[in-house]
Amino acid sequence: MPRVDIKKRIKDDVLIDERIQILRLHYDYLKTAMKYLDPKLLDRSKYTHWNLKMVESHSFNSWWSKIGKNVLGRKLDAIKEVSTSSKRRSNTILVEIPLDNPTEYSLDKIREMINSKSSNNQSDARLHYVKLQIYLDAYLLRFTKNLSLKQIATELRNKRIKILKQRGSRSAMDRSRTEKFLSTKLEPESLQRQILRFRQKAEIILNNVCKGEFPGDYS
């Protein structure tokens, strides 16, 4: 991303996180939990600044423009020299830069390292996002539509393909993997087990969201 675009997203050392789709999904899970789960399960102290009344009645885009971007912007860490004895967080890398190297050469190499690490993380996050969305859709379909098992499987499979294409995942074009996902050729019992597992995952995540965790442990 060009430096100018990055700078536009930074104000007072706060970066509006580009993983907005994950935040949108967190919002959708929270909204679903508020609608379908026991209100006593929701720990409102975990969402003090979210304006839960607005979450309940507004779209994500409306809530984001008024509340979310101020609440969920990410404070940038200070850039500093780190000694080898320092404890390192999982989202960081430790580099050693020869001072006699040309500065631009060193900067290019650092950018290559960061881009390499970031692309791997983004790929994992993309596929993780797809799973979370499918779990939520499987959960919601039982409330919103009176569909047969095969119709539910078809809807979920089509949703998966759509998301993967939008997010540029190669697996969207992998015909064999796509056909295997909730294939209507499966025995009804097997299909039912898979969809039930998706719904159970969603229920666990919804309960995690009530405790202020997203997605939390849903294994």
Mean pLDDT, residues 114-120 taken together: 66
The pLDDT-based confidence of 47 (bands split at 50, 70, 90) is very high
Task: Look over the chain and give the mean of its residue pLDDT values, rounded to a whole number.
Answer: 78
The domain in which residue 194 lies consists of 3-81+123-210
114 found inside a domain: no
The pLDDT-based confidence of 142 (bands split at 50, 70, 90) is confident
Q: At 15, which helix (H) or strand (E)?
A: strand 14-15
pLDDT above 90 for 1: no
Phi, psi of 65 (to 5 degrees): -65, -30
90 found inside a domain: no
Residue written as tokens 């080898």? 84
- pLDDT tens for each residue of 199-212: 999 999 999 999 99
112 found inside a domain: no
174 found inside a domain: yes
Lowest-confidence segment of 24-38, 70-84, 142-156 by average pLDDT: 70-84
Count of domains forming the chain: 1
Strands lying side by side in the sheet with 14-15 = 10-11, 14-15, 74-75
Q: Rounded distance, CA 185 to CA 195, Å? A: 14
pLDDT above 80 for 218: yes
165 HSE (CA, 13 A, CB side): 9
| pLDDT at residue 79, as a whole number | 52
| pLDDT at residue 205, as a whole number | 94
The pLDDT-based confidence of 153 (bands split at 50, 70, 90) is confident
| pLDDT at residue 173, as a whole number | 46
